[in-house]
Amino acid sequence: MRSQPRQGLQPGRHGSLPGALLLAGRSRSDRCRIRRAGRAGRPPARAGTGQTIVDDDRRGGVMKQPKVDVLIVGGGVMGAASSFFLRQRGKSVTLLERDVVGQYASGVNFGNVRRQGRHLDQLDLANRSFALWKRLPQLIGEDLEFLPSGHMRVCYREDEFPELEAYAAAPEARELDLQVLQGKALHERFPFLGPDVKGGSYAPHDGHANPRLAAPAWARAAIRAGARIEERTEVLHVEKVGKEFQITTTDGRIFTADQLLITAGAWGEKLSSQFGEPVPLETFGPQMSVTEPVPYALPTVIGVFTKIPHEVVYFRQIARGNIVIGGGVRTRPDMANRRAYFDPNSLINHMQQMRRLLPGVGNLNIIRVWSGIESYTPDSLPIMGPSGKVDGLYYAFGFCGHGFQLGPGVGDVMAELISTGSTSTLISPFDIRRFAAFSELASKAS
């Protein structure tokens, strides 16, 4: 299955669920044709601020673009949010995206806006991001259908419950206001849960949002703030020449900047390797499905805490009634062709596990399935922060399938770091230098 269609700055549908088609914005080629027709018989137009200068800066058939403060490679939610926050700090920004904004992991994930269950070292960043989620309409003019419905994490075994208790008791988790429930108290509070559920941890402030809307909305806000975003612009080569970074794209253009931020998701490692910092990334495709609209009955996001892969299931119900389901054994995407696949067995497993968790669920019609391309590190922590080898180079990729909630916070932190040289948020556990041993082995093997 291909990554979700109709993404980009003007997605054709609102959300990851079927709905009325919206009138998509004109394509770039349409706009170019309109401009050419409108200027027929008139002198050539002068390039405006941030636009391509073709005649004066053409060197041997190569188009050199205006230099900016920061170049960003990768148009997911991390790159789009970083563009926005860099503009808030007065930095000139150009973002390059090979396909369209939000096409891969950012636009096809489950939509969990959760802090509960994250690695404790991530919670400082997650809390910063959560504060931004609550301010979305004021920040970017859209709420991304964010609903702080709560998030329930349940377990099937008595010996798993102490782990939920220990997590809730950790000092790092104090802002989550976790409520740990077991036995009768749990089933009285959440009567729809099945008898196999032995315990749970409830995060009242977490929730969910629509991933199809997120990256495009941040990108549009960045453009309104003055950023330049180039879709369908593939990077051919990147290097640092003197004190500036140079990116050559497949269409012959050269982009330059004083600083470079790589937010290329599953392809981030290919770019970091060009600077001598390879990362042991693996790629997987999440297994997602959605039901027909049914009467609203699930007041919270629910996920299973288990060490058994096929038992993993999580779901949320949106306002119009559709239930979005994820979990199970992930597939391997075709990276060469940028395709992700949904395993039909995942659909069977989704329904089996959902009925185990919610016995009252009747027969539901699944109306769509999909997957995406996500990248995972060996320690399940992202690559985020400055390069260990090249001044002015920064990374934010490899979020291991749980980057959606972090997106606004990542953008804010990276803008702070790039602009000031430091950040008030803990990101040292995400330093790329933790994979230095892997980098040395890769260097010896090459």
Task: Assign residue 438 the CATH number of its domain.
Answer: 3.50.50.60
Number of domains in the chain: 2
Instruction: Provide the CATH number for the domain around residue 323.
Output: 3.30.9.10
pLDDT per residue as tens digits for the range 336-352: 999 999 999 999 999 99
Distance of CA 431 to the CA centre of its chain: 19
Last residue within a domain, chosen from 333, 358, 376: 376
**End-to-end distance of the chain based on CA atoms, in angstroms?**
34
The answer on 393 and 360 residing in a single domain is no
- Are residues 289 and 359 located together in one domain of the fold? yes
Q: Are residues 245 and 200 in the same domain?
A: no
Domain end, chosen from 345, 376, 407, is at: 376
Q: Report yes or no on 136 lying in a domain.
A: no
Are residues 235 and 221 part of one domain?
yes
Identify the band that residue 374 occupies on the pLDDT scale cut at 50, 70 and 90.
very high
In a domain, 11, yes or no: no
pLDDT in tens, 416-440: 999 999 999 999 999 999 998 765 6
Residues 287 and 199 in one domain: yes
What CA–CA distance (Å, rounded) separates 249 from 237? 7
Domain end point (choices 376, 410, 429): 376
| 237 and 366 co-located in one domain | no
Query: Do 87 and 227 lie in a common domain?
Result: yes
pLDDT surpasses 50 at 149: yes
What residues make up the domain containing 187?
147-205+283-376
* 116 lies in some domain: no
Long-range contacts of 334-338 (CB under 8 A, 24+ apart): 335/266, 335/283, 335/373, 338/3, 338/99, 338/104, 338/373
Same domain, residue pair 287 and 370: yes
350 and 422 both lie in a single domain: no
Average pLDDT in the chain: 88
Same domain, 197 and 287: yes
